[in-house]
Amino acid sequence: MMNFSEVFKQSNQLCKVSPDGKYLATCVQYRLVVRDMSTLQILQLYTCLDQISHMEWSSDSLLILCAMYKRGIVQLRVTVWSLCTKAVSFIKYPKACQKGIDFSRDGCYMALAERRDCKDYISVFVCDDWHLLRHFETETQDLAGLEWSPNGCVLAVWDSCLEYKVLMYSLDGRLLSTYSAYEWSLGVKSVTWSPSSQLLAIGSYDEKVRILNHITWKKIMQFEHPATINNTKAVVYKEVERRPAVGSDDLSLHNISIGTTLFNTQSKYEICPPPVQISVTKPDADRANPKIGVAALSFSSNSRYLATKNDNMASAVWVWDMQKMTLEAVLEQSSAVRCFQWDPRRPRLALCTGNSKLYLWSPAGCVSVQVPTEGGFQVHSLTWHCSGDSLILLSKEQLCLCYMDTEQEEK
């Protein structure tokens, strides 16, 4: 069971819940609206000088940062503003890459990728007073990203897609391990840690996910995304659509102009026995960043499941059981999957495809839910509340809250 709120306006998908879960901040053009999360009543309304391009909460939920990029200037440096002492610090030579900056989960350290003299470096800063803890050169040709393990002990660093290389560094800059799956072909496309910090998942352009363990940093499993699924233990859910029959009495001018949900397509999931053929799109090999390979990876909060999406199978989400190291389920949608995200408290996956439906998977099964709003609400993206009790659904210019049944127990 679930309930939906009324619809509110938003711009540029700028809608974020405060870290403590009490407030909902949304941007509408040049206005910042802060609502009470429980009642959705407006608590504060701020007017900025220009359209808001980016918005972010402080970790203590007391401050909101709003950036107006139209009024800014581009400077190749990192600026650190102290909100306590009003001091300003500058860090030179930051590298503009996929993910060149990351904070440890406890907020103690910041890792920053730098590029100078045609070489890659990493600087690790202590966030209390911003003194430099370590500065070291990395064994990369063209560093593309870095990410702290959730426990803050290891920094994963990966090279550009032109060279398959993932490096593990300790907090003091020691190289712990280097991993490379193959050479002379497009390499790493995505990297993510399990919440337990025990596993590192690497998505690649060869349409595979490789799992490294935290003890030896060796590959312990490889997951593939075949076009034909023969696995008899995995459950394949296929979305089946049908349009409701419309009688002549329903085709009145009133119904067509007011009841825009009249022609909405209804859908449900059917379980398909193997073998199952997954829809595959052939990428354009002549274009940069071809739509092929695993670009989206996400672990459930208990590290039990891993959800993946292969770009040339855009309508399918794959769910892997990380205890059994096997394929648990595949959800094949009627349209390309735009976004998927795990419930922060339970092994429950939410996804959307740009239509008026919300889709949910849990070990118990799959469900397709129509968002019951007037005028048709196309779900472009979604995000969970930190409690896991509600979801924020975003369309192009609106938002809506979905309240979940909190009595569902974790499997």
Per-residue pLDDT tens digits for 330-384: 999 999 999 999 999 999 999 999 999 999 999 999 999 999 877 778 999 999 9
The residues near 298 (Cβ < 8 Å, ≥ 6 apart) are 192, 306, 307, 308, 340, 341, 342
Per the domain annotation, does 150 fall within a domain? yes
The mean pLDDT value for 121-145 works out to 93
Give the mean model confidence (pLDDT) for residues 95-110: 91
Q: Is residue 298 part of a domain?
A: no
CA atoms within 13 Å, Cβ hemisphere of 274? 12
Q: Are 298 and 342 in contact (CB under 8 A)?
A: yes
Query: For residue 245, what pLDDT band results from cuts at 50, 70 and 90?
Result: low
pLDDT at 150 over 80: yes
Position 250 confidence tier, pLDDT thresholds 50, 70, 90: very low
Output the pLDDT for position 255: 35
Is 337 part of any domain? no
**How many domains would you assign to the chain?**
1
pLDDT at 92 over 80: no
The mean pLDDT of 157-173, rounded to a whole number, is 94
Question: Is residue 393, in this structure, part of any structural domain at all?
Answer: no
145 domain residue, yes or no: yes
What is d(CA 343, CA 2) in angstroms, rounded to the nearest whole number?
A: 15
Question: Is the model's pLDDT at 66 over the cut of 50?
Answer: yes
Residue 152 lies in a domain: yes
Domain that includes residue 216, residue range: 95-224
Backbone angles phi, psi at 242, to 5 degrees: -150, 145
Strand positions, DSSP E, 107-181: 109-116, 119-126, 131-137, 143-148, 154-159, 166-170, 175-179
Q: Is residue 89 in some structural domain?
A: no
- The share of the chain scoring above pLDDT 70, in percent, equals 90
Domain harbouring 166, CATH code: 2.130.10.10
pLDDT digits (tens, 9 = 90+) for 107-126: 999 999 999 888 999 999 99
Tokens of 237: 């859910």
Strands (E), 254-324: 266-272, 276-277, 294-299, 305-310, 316-321
Lowest mean pLDDT among 26-40, 48-62, 247-261: 247-261
Confidence of residue 265 (pLDDT cuts 50, 70, 90): low
DSSP 8-state secondary structure symbol assigned to residue 93: -
Tens digits of residue pLDDT in 379-389 = 999 999 999 99
Domain assignment present for residue 55? The answer is no
Please tell me the predicted confidence (pLDDT) of residue 407.
Answer: 60
Tens digit of each residue's pLDDT (9 = 90 or more) over 180-197 = 999 999 999 999 999 999
Average pLDDT (312-331) is 97
- pLDDT value of position 254: 36
